[in-house]
Chain A
Amino acid sequence: MAPRHRLPNPEQVRPDEPLSRYLLQSGYFSRHQRRIKPHAFLPEPSTRATSVFRTSGLIETEIWRIAEEHVSGPAGRTIHGRADILVSQVEATGLCVDPDNVPERHAEIVGWPQEKHERLSLAQHLAAVAELRLRL
C-alpha cells in the first residue's frame, strides 16, 4: 500500500505541491534529449483531464510505489519514468489541479480548452518546465 502518512489535504492543493505524471509510453519522453515531450501532458480525450499524483511528503521509493500500485501495475505496463511539476507551474498556464483523491493522492489537471492548438500550446509550456525523472 502507498504510505498513508503525511497525506496532503484531500480537498485543496497548495501552489508549492509537487505532482507526478507517470510515463508508461516510451514516446512520451526522450532519454537522449533528457526531456519530456509535450504530448505526455495532453488530456485523455474521454475525460479531458490529465492524470497525476500528488507526491508531497514522499521519498523517492514511495513515489515509485504509487506508480506500481495504481498506474503501471493495473495497466500491465512498465513504468519508464515520470514528469514532476509543481501545482503553481500548472496553474500559471491557466489550467487547474483537481484533487479527486481516487485513488488516494490522485489528482487531475483540468480546464483544458476545446481547441486542439490551444491544448498543444499549454502542453508545450508544461513540458518545458517539468522535470524528467527516469526509473533506474
Chain B
Amino acid sequence: MSTAQAVSGGPWLLRARVEQGVSEDARRLAELFVDALAFRHSVLLGERYDRAMEALRDAYEEALTSGWDGYRARPVDSFSYIHALSFVSALPSTVPLPEVAVDPDGEVEFEWFRSPRWLFTVSVGRSGNLSYAGLFGGNKVHGVEQFSEGLPEAIVQNLRRILGPQAPVTESRAGSA
C-alpha cells in the first residue's frame, strides 16, 4: 500500500464524518486531523507509515459500534484516534511499531510486548492525555502525561526500558503467581 493509498484509505472514514459535522467537536476534530496529517510527513515515511496507518485503521474499524467486544464497550473515540495518529507519528524510527487496539472505554491503546511480565502500554485519551502503565518483571510504573509537542520524557524513558537489552525476549510463565 502506498502512502497516498494509506491516507485515502485510512482516516477517510473519519474525514467523511468530520465534513458532515457542524458542531464545535467536529470543527476541533477536523483541526486535529489536519495537524496529525501534517505531522506524519515530517517523521514517519514509507512502509513504516503505511503499517502504522493500517494497524490504526483496523483497530478503528473493529470498534465502530457500541458493544464491539461482545460486552458493553464504547465505540472508538474519534478524538483519541486522531491524537493516536499524532502519537504514533511522533515515535522515532528506531522504536518498533507497537500493537494497536481499542480499549472498552473507546480509547486507542498502544502496547509494546516482550513477555506477559514485561510490557508497556499507552492509552490515548480524547484530550490527548497519555495514560501509561508498564510491567518490568517485578517492577511496575504507571502515570499520565499530556501529549502536545513531542513524546513526554516519561514515555521515552519507559520505551527505553521496554526495548532495552535487559528486557527478556521470552519469559516462562512458570512460577507466575
Contacts and interface: CB of A to CB of B under 8 A. Distances in A.
B75 to A, nearest CB: 11
A124 B133 contact: yes
B50 interface: no
Size bracket, chain B contacts: 35 or more
Contacts of A35: 113, 116
Given A28-B69, A71-B70, A128-B116, A120 B104 contact: no
Given A33-B113, A116-B131, A120-B132, A45 B104 contact: yes
B132 to A, nearest CB: 6
A27 interface: yes
Interface stretch (A36-44, A55-63, A95-103): A36-44
Contacts, number: 94
Nearest to B105: A45
A112 to B, nearest CB: 11
B103 A129 contact: no
A125 interface: yes
A129 B109 contact: no
Contact of B135 (A27, A45, A46, A125): A125
A46 B69 CA distance: 14
A11 interface: no
Interface string B108-125: 010101001101010101
A71 B74 CA distance: 18
Nearest to A39: B103
B177 A124 contact: no
B144 A92 contact: no
**Residue in B59, B71, B107, B131 whose Cβ sees the most chain A Cβ within 10 Å:** B71
Given A120-B132, A121-B140, A25 B70 contact: yes
Interface of A: 22, 24-25, 27-28, 33, 35, 37-39, 42-47, 51, 71-72, 75, 77, 89, 92, 115-118, 120-121, 123-125, 127-129
Q: Rank and list the top 4 A-B pairs by shortest CB-CB distance, nearest first.
A: A24-B70, A120-B133, A116-B131, A121-B133
23 contacts: A27-B62, A28-B69, A33-B113, A37-B99, A38-B111, A38-B121, A42-B105, A45-B74, A51-B71, A77-B70, A89-B177, A116-B105, A117-B132, A118-B133, A120-B123, A120-B142, A121-B135, A124-B121, A124-B133, A124-B134, A125-B135, A128-B117, A129-B177
